[in-house]
Amino acid sequence: MISPHINAPAGGEDQRVTLADLQKQVQVLQDIEAIKRLKHAYFRAIDSADLALMNTLVTLDVKVHFVGGDYEWRLNGRDEYIEAVGCNFNSEVIAQHNGHHPEITIINDTEAEGIWYLHDNFYNLRAKLFTTGSAFYHDRYRKVDGQWRIASTRYTRHYEIVTPIETVPNITVHYLGKHGRVIDKDCHTGALCKDVQ
Amino acid sequence: MISPHINAPAGGEDQRVTLADLQKQVQVLQDIEAIKRLKHAYFRAIDSADLALMNTLVTLDVKVHFVGGDYEWRLNGRDEYIEAVGCNFNSEVIAQHNGHHPEITIINDTEAEGIWYLHDNFYNLRAKLFTTGSAFYHDRYRKVDGQWRIASTRYTRHYEIVTPIETVPNITVHYLGKHGRVIDKDCHTGALCKDVQ
Amino acid sequence: MISPHINAPAGGEDQRVTLADLQKQVQVLQDIEAIKRLKHAYFRAIDSADLALMNTLVTLDVKVHFVGGDYEWRLNGRDEYIEAVGCNFNSEVIAQHNGHHPEITIINDTEAEGIWYLHDNFYNLRAKLFTTGSAFYHDRYRKVDGQWRIASTRYTRHYEIVTPIETVPNITVHYLGKHGRVIDKDCHTGALCKDVQ
């Protein structure tokens, strides 16, 4: 018969752990890594306007609320969010969004939350504005069919600086310029385009 | 009776691991994650001047030594450090400090060390100076009452560029402007304020 | 006799895991952490022109292919790569390369791949050009003698902006200025120097 307890010598303490206990601890580490990777793919998806990838990263009922200095995103559901990404990460912008410093908390087997430190650089070549700044994301994640998804994401800007682009910079590579939507042709959600950076 | 060894098929090698061995390995991974999270919260604390949060992140005897191009921080103890943070991350600065590329080494159950790659942007609106650059942190961590804390942290700048702010930028969000200390009113550690960026 | 299965209560599911299974799962997490750390050291090595460190991070047959807006690196083998790093991260540049958002996949015990989001700032003080931008690395890693190494690394720029440096900035710290190679004296691979940023 198996004794469920083995004396673990860690820390000199009398810590007893079962295989089942340890499996739960490993599961938490796996979940944290999976959620980091999820958010990492999310940043790749938005800056590349990769809507097919984004479709796999958020829940059907995802809630989004971003409050910037001169914009606000409040979106409900995957379709609305993906449309907003496609429209705003268009061929006339250069987008760089980096998420640093994840603080991930696993609540239970299917729910988790996370804080991230956003730093972004955003060139709107149509509006001739460069926006840079930071924010702290407060996210909720949900495991659906074995995969972690972003269930809600919100931030209020920490700092934001908007600078007019006086001279168009020497852009030697521009992925979205080639692969992003053409605004007038493909983007019919004018309100969203106007309301966001 | 339990045989302490089970043949693990990993790598085709004849690796034998006990539950206690594996628990130690998992503990190392948990410690690495906890230390990353600690440092991540530290960056959130400084850039938000969240002194209550900072109070939970460093040891009572924390040692700080930062060498920049035109500043040097040399601080001993939590009180001195928190006062320096409160004073210098005041309402007339915009601070962005990001720590990348953690290389964490667990020395034993209660001691660890880490290297991080700092990138920072710092707007001093009073002195009208913008400082940007990088540095490599060399940290020591200590586990106190079950929680990892920063026990010492030091860097020498890798590069640093200081640019006069000729025109005040269009700051559309400024968290510290609202929540940071008012220098003349709340900050009595003039020497520290002068000596740092 | 040991029953290989213990009922793990995680998630309310009837998950049975053996110690050997769990060891494999832990090994994957250890490998992911080791590969992140490898790439983190790589960024420290290039920006510091630490060729001795770089020597320990790549395989003998490493393949490198970077496609920028006005440069291309295509290198074969460790010696060629290290020479290129030493030559281009010289005393007349300031280099900042940060790799964000790792998405690491362990293929088997000795092979893995990874995606990273590069953000870089590069000041070429001789050519008087500042280059900034982003890219997605697609890497392959190989475990050699128990150590993960970079076996191949490639990217095509995502965006790149090149700005003339009209006025030399106020550089208050410059590590490579002191420790990088002196181009005319030490760098005989002129072609490489010219072809890269």
Q: pLDDT digits over A70-113, tens only?
A: 889 999 999 999 999 999 999 999 999 999 999 999 999 999 99
A137-186: pLDDT as tens digits: 999 999 999 999 999 999 999 999 999 999 989 999 999 999 999 987 65
Quote the CA–CA distance of C91 and C175 in Å, as a whole number.
8
Question: Would the CA dihedral through A54, A59, A60, A64 be positive or negative?
Answer: negative
A117·B174 Cβ contact <8 A:
no
* Nearest-by-Cβ selection for A44 from C2, C15, C136: C136
What single-letter amino acid sits at A3?
S
Kindly report the three-state secondary structure assignment for every residue of chain C.
CCCCCEEECHHHCCEEECHHHHHHHHHHHHHHHHHHHHHHHHHHHHHCCCHHHHHCCEEEEEEEEEECCCCEEEEECHHHHHHHHHHHCCCCEEEEEEEEEEEEEEEECCEEEEEEEEEEEEEECCCCEEEEEEEEEEEEEEEECCEEEEEEEEEEEEEEEEEECCCCCEEEEEHHHHHCCCHHHHCCCHHHHHHCC
A99·C100 Cβ contact <8 A:
yes
Among A137-141, C13-17, C92-96, whose mean pLDDT is lowest?
C13-17
Quote the CA–CA distance of C39 and C98 in Å, as a whole number.
10
Across chain B, mean pLDDT equals 89
Q: What's the rounded mean pLDDT across residues A6-17? A: 51
Amino acid A183: pLDDT: 87
Among A121-130, B4-13, B51-60, C107-116, whose mean pLDDT is lowest?
B4-13
Tell me the pairing of strands C15-17 and C6-8: antiparallel
Amino acid A186: pLDDT: 59
Residue A10: pLDDT over 60: no
Cβ–Cβ under 8 Å, residues C141 and C112: yes
The domain ranges of chain A are 14-179
CATH no., domain A14-179: 3.10.450.50
A158·B169 Cβ contact <8 A:
no
Amino acid A8: pLDDT: 39
Per-residue pLDDT band at A16 (split at 50, 70, 90): confident
Quote the CA–CA distance of B94 and A119 in Å, as a whole number.
13
Q: What's the pTM?
A: 0.90
Q: Which residues of A touch B170 (CB under 8 A)?
A: 161-163
C172·B158 Cβ contact <8 A:
no
* Nearest-by-Cβ selection for A172 from C2, C25, C69: C69
Interchain contact C10–A (C-beta under 8 A):
yes
ipTM of the complex: 0.89
Amino acid A70: pLDDT: 82
B127-169: pLDDT as tens digits: 999 999 999 999 999 999 999 999 999 999 999 999 999 998 9
Residue with tokens 């931008």: C133
